Amino acid sequence: MLNKTLVPQSVAREIQAMIQAGQLKAGEKIPSQREFSQKFGISRASLREALLTLETLGLLKTEAGRGTFVAATDGTAGQAGHMAPWRYSESYSVFDVFQTRILLEGEIARLSAGRLSQTQLEKMEKATKTMEDCWANQDLLANVDADLEFHGTIVSACSNTMLKALYQTVRDQVTETQRQPIPITDPERMRQSIAEHRRIIAALRSNDGSLARAEMEAHIRNTARCAGLQP
Residues 105 and 64 in one domain: no
Residues 99 and 199 in one domain: yes
Residues 199 and 138 in one domain: yes
Number of domains in the chain: 2
In a domain, 80, yes or no: no
Domain region containing 14: 8-70
Residues 99 and 32 in one domain: no
Residues 118 and 20 in one domain: no
Q: What is the pTM of this model?
A: 0.80
Q: What is the SS3 string spanning 120-161?
A: HHHHHHHHHHHHHHHHHCCCHHHHHHHHHHHHHHHHHHCCCH
55, 106, 169, 208 from 86: Cα distances, Å: 10, 23, 18, 35
pLDDT in tens, the chain (231 residues): 444 445 788 898 899 889 888 899 988 999 988 898 888 888 888 898 888 888 878 888 888 888 889 987 644 444 444 556 677 878 889 899 999 999 999 999 999 999 999 999 999 999 999 999 988 888 888 988 999 999 999 999 999 999 999 999 999 999 888 877 665 556 788 889 999 999 999 999 999 999 999 999 999 999 898 877 887
